[in-house]
Structure 1
Amino acid sequence: MRRTFPWHIVVFLAPAVLIYTVFSAYPLFDTLRLSFFTDSTSGERSFAGLTNFITLLGDDTWSDAFWNAMWNNTKFFIIHLLVQNPIGLALAALLSLKGLKGARTYRTLIFLPTLLSVVIIGFIWQLILSPLWGVSEGFLEFFGLGFLFDAWLGKESTALVTLALISVWQFIGIPMMLIYAAMLSIPDDLIEAAHVDGASPWRIFWSIRLPLIFPTLGLVTILTFVGNFNAFELIYAVKGALGGPNFATDILGTFFYRTFFGYQSQIGSATMGATVATMMFLVILFGVMAYFYFIQRRLTRYQL
């Protein structure tokens, strides 16, 4: 029997491949290529090898700003990892309980901020936390906690943590829904058998539900990592491209923006901007590779 070439598969895949190539693959490889070039004062572009990377990591003018942005980005991710994902897990566990009234309403309300623009979220929270006309001070005083109020967005020690918690509030619905969907896929027979054996709800969660959703928790972790190291909009909307105060909220996204496009007295450089973007790509790439090598393999063996 003669087999024909599956042209229908090519027809269906061609639009997606074309769009991915034009808007994702080509810009990525062109950015990697551009990072190996440098621009002269006359505007001529020439091959420079690893010069841009050596400058970024070794020149004090560039390296201090880069490592500061890297460290801030790492703290931004850690806060999400330690606050957003555990709360998302707890909310998913509560919403998956049978007989919980208003579960659909709760899911909708928690997930709703995720659908809003990051710029709008940043502007609203900036107004809420403002010491001049914000409502947060009065809200805390109503509950007798007025002594806790401070200019959180205006202090170097608290600005980044505050912005990270705002981001957690907005995007907590994503890990919640992913974990919630994973919990719904657990066979009811396992839960009913555990109930028959006399297991408590906490024991069922810790010994049955949690191990079965480990792959989903790993997926949520890596999505959080990738999303946080690509973050830009919230910091830019609230604190501007300089990541104030005094670069305390400067992350890789804002550092790349200033480097590529220029800002105030800083002149933009396409080649150095491409170098920063390449470093961001490498950080994300090695982070994802480390996850698959050290964690995903163990999860796969655990399932088997």
Structure 2
Amino acid sequence: MSDPVIAAAAEIVQQADPAAVQVRSFFDEATFTVTHVLSDPASGKAAIIDSVLDFDPASGRTSTSSADALIAYIREQDLEVEWLLETHAHADHLSAAPYLQEQLGGKLAIGRHILTVQETFGKIFNEGTRFARDGSQFDHLFDEGDRFSVGSIPAIALHVPGHTPADMAYVIGDTVFIGDTLFMPDYGSARADFPGGDAHVLYRSVRRLLSLPESTRLFLCHDYKAPGRNTYAWETTVAEQRSGNVHLHDGISEDDFVAMRKARDATLDMPRLILPSIQVNMRGGHFPEPEENGVSYLKLPLNRL
């Protein structure tokens, strides 16, 4: 294999014992988001991937019922959280990572290209100098190929841009948490029309992911129930994606995918929570600093996106 990072990821997958990697997933229907808790039974260590803070845009109020369900599960299973992993700065939900970290500990991590997102959206939201654009809101910034572990389970970080410039996938044992690169095979692929997104780059990122062993388990960040399917789903395999993904199955060329993706993206509305989500998530899930009255405010840039 000519890609050394993918070769290293494939080795981790091939050497993993699937029975020794446990995943419990929590679906938030309000944002169609799936949060995953991966744990190592041998050590009791765990990672939380892509958590959700409940948010009502009409009132501006947040709540923690989704995050509290994770906390209850982790305490019930007597797990120790090592990592709070974000696959990217989400545009459809607010991250609950700071709240979870306060309750459970663990290092908050994202890909290093979050700096690009912070610079881009720092300008869009006209953030002042108090907003650091150096990733310091996170405990760890992953680079392509960085090795880490969850307990005794080896892991590696993959940079898979295209949906945004900062998307990461996390290979942990025989599982990969792929964020918004792909959806279930009957639903297809992520949009690529956000600032910094690129359909050509997304195609190449997906082909890298789908060069992993066919048995590799892929865990998704979202599901929207494709027409004809009555249940939500968020786990698939490399083999299922290669044979059946409606946008990116084997044999689809880059040019054909890009043409389809651009045409499809032109018909899509902006995500309902993109403006509040990005402002919070580019800060690692923290709210903007309170103003002199002690209240945090989110901005609504007019005619900008």
Bin for the TM-score computed over the shorter chain: under 0.3
Task: Select the structure that is richer in helix.
Answer: 1
Give the TM-score normalised by the residue count of structure 1.
0.26
Greater Rg over alpha carbons, structure: 1
Higher RCO, 1 or 2 (CA under 8 Å, sep at least 6)? Answer: 1
TM-score normalised by length of structure 2: 0.26
> By percentage of residues, which structure has more strand?
2
